[in-house]
Amino acid sequence: MRLGQLTGGDEAVAVTGFAIDHRKVAPGTVFGAFRGTRVNGEDFIAEAVRAGAVAVVAAPDAVVEGAVHIADDEPRAAFARLAARFFGPFPATTVAVTGTNGKTSVVEMTRQLWRMAGHHAASIGTLGVTTADERVTTGLTTPDVVTFLSNVAGLAREGVTHLAFEASSHGLTQYRTEGLRVSAAAFTNLSRDHLDYHGDMGAYLTAKLRLFSEVLCPNGTAVIWVDDPEAGRVFDLAHARGNRLVTVGERGNTLRLVGREPTLLGQGLVIEAEGATHRVQLPLIGAYQAANALVAAGLVIATGAEVGPTLAALARLQPVRGRLERAAIAPSGAPIYVDYAHTPDALEAAIAALKPHAGGRLIAVFGAGGDRDAGKRETMGQVAAARADRVYVTDDNPRHEDAATIRRQVLRGCPEATEIGDRRTAIATAIAEAGAEDIVLIAGKGHEQGQIVGDLVLPFDDVSVAREVAA
């Protein structure tokens, strides 16, 4: 492909690929040089050109010699648009999901519902790239734009027609999800997270809203969980842009949740839609799982599915890895659940989901990640102290922070908790203590397969550990 075909100009030079890492530049590459919080990509322009870059996308005042300078005040966005033209075509139907909690579950449930409707569907997010046949882990909720677009194009070549992806606040701010025609976008909820990056809740919400103000097609559909306090902001924005609205929740107009009854292994839902009442046995526990399932149903309906069959298909949803996943049964008979909850709101929701199913105590094992928003740690401890009956505070992913310091910050909110630094020992102790009527919740890491300590990723899977110590 010629560069002029991408830019709309007359540059005849051949383009062979795109890169934002100068070490991945080969002859014919378009290099993206961006100013970041830790690294300034402009410092590597000369090296990229020497390696064969034929064009550099950078700010207007960047110094580019020996290659075409594609100047833009927002070079990340310009780079993404060019990369999309290079990598396309993409799946015909694409939807995106943003919010603090629930993104992973919603995109995976959306994929499952599409598959049940006969579509060749895939999802991209925290769990990786998931299709009906395989899963490829990417390690990031929203990978860099080159990886993202090349993965999506690869899915299209494999016959995938329907794609759901997570749009994280980082990804939206850094233009990692540009270039696709997003026909429907969903908002789940907003609570404290990533303030180490965004600074305050206003900036965090603004980052989320970019999915609706810029990424969603002007004639696309906004799917909104309207029971969240910030849903009104999304509603007003979508209404102002003329987007079609699909609202779900207890106050929803499209899918109204009018009843929810916990059962032994799930919950019965009563949903009003299109003037009819639908009763669904959802095989997942917890109010937030019901919310995720209804948002997913809203996305599927927004992309052309009929309401009745879509709601009926909710009864066949499979659990999402690391999201209230029942990992094992303790020797006493107590069920052991693993959940990704790593924010105060998510931890409270996970405990609330399990509480109705516990005849005895709810035993929680959790910690907090290092190099992340430290302000939420004490609040997570307060949530555990208020909602759980027994609490063990342990290590999560300490990263480059002192693990003991992180635990002390969590313990300020739950001073009566038991502190056990080694995560495996904490899990084993909680399981050994659990009685037949108790439930054990292991929170924070969910699907993750490793524990990050310094620059090392040590093998660690909460589900596998729970099964081993419970055996």
* pLDDT, mean of residues 249-254: 97
Query: CA-CA distance, 229 to 311, in Å (whole number)?
Result: 25
Is 451 annotated for ligand binding?
no
Highest average pLDDT, of 167-171, 222-226, 352-356, 372-376, comes from 222-226
- 211: amino acid identity, one letter: L
Is 345 annotated for ligand binding?
no
pTM above 0.85, yes or no: no
pLDDT of residue 155: 94
CA 422 to chain centre: 27
Is 139 annotated for ligand binding?
no
Per-chain mean pLDDT for the chain: 93
Domain chopping of the chain, boundaries: 3-86, 88-316, 325-470
Is 254 annotated for ligand binding?
no
Is 213 annotated for ligand binding?
no
Omega into 89 within 30° of 0, i.e. cis?
A: yes
* pLDDT, mean of residues 11-25: 96
Is 151 annotated for ligand binding?
no
Higher local confidence (pLDDT), 229 or 199: 229
Is 387 annotated for ligand binding?
no
Q: What angle do CA 36, 369, 102 make, to 5 degrees?
A: 85
Is 206 annotated for ligand binding?
no
Is 188 annotated for ligand binding?
no
Q: In terms of CATH architecture, what is 88-316? A: 3-Layer(aba) Sandwich (3.40)
The CA R_g of the chain, rounded to the nearest whole Å, is 23
Q: In terms of CATH architecture, what is 325-470? A: Alpha-Beta Complex (3.90)
Q: Report residue 64: phi and psi, to 5°.
A: -125, 120
**pLDDT of residue 143 exceeding 90:** no
- 275: amino acid identity, one letter: G
Cross-strand partners of 148: none
Beta strands in 171-319 (DSSP E): 182-187, 216-225, 244-249, 255-262, 267-273, 276-282
* pLDDT, mean of residues 356-364: 94
CATH number of the structural domain 3-86: 3.40.1390.10
Tokens of 436: 């037949």
Tokens of 195: 């303030």
**pLDDT of residue 140 exceeding 80:** no
Cross-strand partners of 35: 40
**pLDDT of residue 220 exceeding 90:** yes
Q: How far is CA 467 from CA 198, 338, 363, in A?
A: 38, 11, 17
pLDDT of residue 201: 67
**pLDDT of residue 319 exceeding 90:** no
Is 99 annotated for ligand binding?
yes
**pLDDT of residue 176 exceeding 60:** yes
pLDDT of residue 169: 77
Is 304 annotated for ligand binding?
no
Tokens of 275: 């003037």
pLDDT of residue 36: 85
Higher local confidence (pLDDT), 205 or 242: 242
Q: What angle do CA 25, 27, 31 make, to 5 degrees?
A: 40
385-441 confidence digits (pLDDT tens): 999 999 999 999 999 999 999 999 999 999 999 999 999 999 999 999 999 999 999
pLDDT of residue 377: 97
Q: Report residue 17: phi and psi, to 5°.
A: 180, 180
Band (pLDDT 50/70/90 cuts) for residue 193 is low
Sheet holding 335-339, edge to edge: 325-329, 335-339, 439-443, 362-366, 390-393, 418-419
Band (pLDDT 50/70/90 cuts) for residue 63 is very high
**pLDDT of residue 320 exceeding 90:** no
**pLDDT of residue 123 exceeding 90:** yes
Q: What angle do CA 436, 440, 443 make, to 5 degrees?
A: 175
pLDDT of residue 200: 72
Is 289 annotated for ligand binding?
no
pLDDT of residue 273: 97
Please name the residue that has the structure tokens 């969910």. Answer: 446
Is 176 annotated for ligand binding?
yes
Band (pLDDT 50/70/90 cuts) for residue 174 is confident
Is 168 annotated for ligand binding?
yes
Give the contacts of 464 (CB within 8 A, at least 6 positions apart). Answer: none
Is 398 annotated for ligand binding?
yes
Is 208 annotated for ligand binding?
no
Within 10 Å of residue 287's Cβ, how many Cβ atoms?
16
pLDDT of residue 337: 96
Percentage with pLDDT > 90 across the chain: 80
pLDDT of residue 136: 65
Is 103 annotated for ligand binding?
yes
Tokens of 8: 């709309």
